[in-house]
Structure 1
Amino acid sequence: MDKKIGVIGLGIIGRVWAGHYAAAGVLGGTWNRTPRAEAPLPLGSPEAVARAVDVVQIVVADPAAVEAVLARVVPELGPGKVLVQSSTIDPQSSERFRAQVVATGARYLEAPFTGSKPAAEARQTVYYLGGEAGLVAELDALLGTVSSLRLHVGDHQQACALKLAMNLNIAAQMQALCEALTLVRRAGVADEVFFNALRPNVAYSGVTKLKEPKLRAEDYAPQFSVKHMLKDIRLSGLTASEGSSDPFAVRAAVLGRLAAADAQGYGEEDICALLKLLA
């Protein structure tokens, strides 16, 4: 790997990735809107990061945050630079952001991902890559530093749509799991019995495996927060409802539950806090 990468956005995932890049010797700098004492190779501004590296990777909260970062880094881009956009955004925003980047002569790769904090720590992130095949191949080793799998799914807008679809599925499973657990608890069935029965059942999933210990311990420390999933399900509506009345009943139901959890003050907690609404 002969490229240096910079990470802009040191939230739950970004700071883990930055640590992995640093350990591999490929990190050129980091920046976060709120300075973090533990940040590896912190630089004073996103502009400084863009100047110092070959590849700028953005992993922030939402399209508005990406737009704010791009307003500062785009003037520092040009031929030879690559912008990797790893925040979860909607396809329309991706189209707008890509146009800004390629107008400078730089290249753009949409790179949303799946995998919460434990997966990031274990380098088990999975990327959904949208962009030119040549660029995907060129960055494979670099992104492989923090991931176990990189799937080239199509163009930048398709990558965004796929990521939103994945999160809709996760949110729906999380709500169903919370309801199922509450149902059996009300019947006096022990958690151990419920999860032992669920493991050999066709409905058992990675979501269940990841969230079982948190649900049983009532541990709501965020792996994936309510507020971020709420944002993603809202963004999915921009794609799901285009051109017609909204037929996505599960999306609408999950959106309502996440909004209720956020309104109850659970926004910073893990999505398994949906269980609290059923207490």
Structure 2
Amino acid sequence: MFRAGRGHRPRLQRCARSRETRRGYSRNYKHVAPTALRLHLRRACSCCDFFAGVKLGWERNVSKLPRCLPAFLPAVWIKNSTSAERLTSMSHPTHKHIGVIGLGIIGRGVSENLRRKGFQVFVWNRTPRPVPNFVGSPAELAEICDCVQIFVSDDEALLQTVRRLSEKLTPKHVVLAHSTVAPDSMRAAAEIVEHRGARFVEAPFTGSKAAAEKGELVYYVAGNEAALRDARPILEASGKEIIQIGQIGQATAIKIATNMITAASVQAAAEALALIQASGLPLQKFVEAMQANASHSTTLAMKIPKMIERDFEPHFSVKHMLKDIQIANRLGLSQDLELAVTAAARDQLLEQIEQGHGDNDYSAVARKYLPKTEPAGSEETQTADEQVQTSAEAIIPVPETEEPKLEQENRTMTAGETTAPVLPGGDAKEETDSRRGFLRQLLRRARQLLKQPVSPKQG
């Protein structure tokens, strides 16, 4: 736009003395900005900040803009922004290079949303992934980005990541921790970051795979006001709501409490489905009834149909939900609280882990209540009583001559366990039916009985 060289200044001086310049235009630059605006542009271009020069010229020459410039300037910026807001936004641009650590279910969705919103995203994961802008270490990520989001699974992973990140942290950095961990671990991570002069934002979230992909997570945030203000545009790229909680550690407590309700409600829904099925009712009728029930929620609306279909594709895995529930139980014990429902939900999740379903969705707790049904007419199909008897006899063989001894041993079991029924006398058919009922209850105590196996009576 402007020619450099010795002849440039005299030419501008001649233009400044001309009558056209006094009216706001240059004789030789009919369709360029006024002289004052051109000088601002020239000064800005020398600093590689063209738009800042346009802003300064706009501030001082609003009435003298040439007819070519308004079409060039952003219409929304001209119409809606005040002078102070424009000056602040141009002088202090938002973060454009964002680092994401952890490319699990949520981390992948968040990084994709950031890219769609125009951010330059650099990523790191403990297991290398073939994704754009993958860097070699957390420290390298901190060298490139001044804002880093951490999506790792547990306390140790968070603290280890923050320590590696802290090697390159400076006062310009903002670190956002999105992990659900113990409040003490979150405070320890904040202390490591702030010791380097950087700012720390605690930001656990609610929402699963679908919410992360759609940018509809809800963040619970805690930290100082300046850090939260800088982090807000980044959180808005992947979230629909940001709820400010208070001090570091308190947002995590909120997240753990909400997960207690989520785990308990899904466990209750699984048991309710089992009751409906045992009553001979169509499970779809239960779905319709729940839609008009006060206890209905978005979680149940999403999970119940998948439990009926036995679709346990992970949106939030069993192992991660178990980790959160175990944190809740530890917090309850530390405060002398009895969390009976939470403990029951923990036991069901732990059972899924022991069966090898830790990577399934946490709604897999319904697997034990809604077993797969064999096709009608199959020769391998057995009645419920036959299945129970076969399973029980495979675990604990019980001969007929040992029934009185079993009855005596069941009476000596620890308090709190259900006592076994007394087997009645009578003919062989009655004894067989009673044994079946006895074995159904005995299955629940198989582990205890296996530790004290029953040997047949020597004849």
> Scaled by the length of structure 1, what TM-score is found?
0.96
Q: Which has the larger radius of gyration?
A: 2
Q: Please give the residue correspondences for 1:161-172 in structure 2 after superposition, counting only pairs within 5 Å.
A: 161-172=253-264
Q: Please give the residue correspondences for 1:25-174 in structure 2 after superposition, counting only pairs within 5 Å.
A: 25-37=118-130, 39-174=131-266
Residue number in structure 2 paired with 1:179: 271
Letter in 2 for 1:203: S
Give the whole-Å Cα distance in 1 for the aligned partners of 2:214 and 2:298: 15
Give the secondary-structure state (helix, strand or coil) at the position aligned to 2:135: coil
Letter in 2 for 1:5: I
Give the whole-Å Cα distance in 1 for the aligned partners of 2:284 and 2:335: 46
Do the aligned partners of 1:220 and 1:269 also contact (CA within 8 Å) in 2? yes
Tell me which stretches of 4 or more aligned residues in structure 1 moved more than 6 Å: none
Residues 204 and 122 (structure 1 numbering): CA distance in 2 closer, same or farther, change over 3 Å? Answer: same
| CA drift at 1:46 | 1.5
Do the aligned partners of 2:174 and 2:231 also contact (CA within 8 Å) in 1? no
Do the aligned partners of 1:18 and 1:40 also contact (CA within 8 Å) in 2? no
Give the whole-Å Cα distance in 2 for the aligned partners of 1:40 and 1:199: 43
Give the whole-Å Cα distance in 2 for the aligned partners of 1:239 and 1:52: 38
From 366, 370, 375, the counterpart of 1:275: 366
- More displaced stretch, 208-217 vs 266-275: 208-217
Do the aligned partners of 1:90 and 1:238 also contact (CA within 8 Å) in 2? no
Give the whole-Å Cα distance in 2 for the aligned partners of 1:27 and 1:18: 9
Do the aligned partners of 1:18 and 1:27 also contact (CA within 8 Å) in 2? no
| CA drift at 1:16 | 0.8
Q: Please give the residue correspondences for 1:117-266 in structure 2 after superposition, counting only pairs within 5 Å.
A: 117-244=209-336, 246-266=337-357
More relative contact order in 1 or in 2 (CA 8 Å, sep 6+)?
Answer: 1
1:72-107 deviation digits (Å, cap 9, x = unpaired): 111111211011000111101011111111000000
Task: Determine what percentage of the aligned residue pairs are the same residue.
Answer: 37
Do the aligned partners of 2:99 and 2:142 also contact (CA within 8 Å) in 1? yes
1:24 aligns with 2:24: no
Letter in 1 for 2:170: G
1:9 aligns with 2:102: yes
| CA drift at 1:133 | 2.4
Residues 271 and 243 (structure 1 numbering): CA distance in 2 closer, same or farther, change over 3 Å? Answer: closer
Give the whole-Å Cα distance in 2 for the aligned partners of 1:157 and 1:237: 17
Do the aligned partners of 1:261 and 1:277 also contact (CA within 8 Å) in 2? no
Give the whole-Å Cα distance in 2 for the aligned partners of 1:172 and 1:254: 6
Give the secondary-structure state (helix, strand or coil) at the position aligned to 1:201: coil
Aligned residues: 277
Residues 243 and 165 (structure 1 numbering): CA distance in 2 closer, same or farther, change over 3 Å? Answer: closer
Residue number in structure 1 paired with 2:426: none
| CA drift at 1:250 | 0.9
Give the whole-Å Cα distance in 1 for the aligned partners of 2:167 and 2:121: 19
Do the aligned partners of 2:100 and 2:148 also contact (CA within 8 Å) in 1? yes
- More displaced stretch, 19-28 vs 107-116: 19-28
Letter in 1 for 2:119: V
Give the whole-Å Cα distance in 1 for the aligned partners of 2:271 and 2:132: 41
Q: Unmatched 5+ residue regions in structure 1?
A: none
| CA drift at 1:132 | 1.3
Over aligned residues, Cα RMSD in angstroms? Answer: 1.2
Give the whole-Å Cα distance in 2 for the aligned partners of 1:125 and 1:45: 27
> Scaled by the length of structure 2, what TM-score is found?
0.59
- More displaced stretch, 262-271 vs 19-28: 19-28
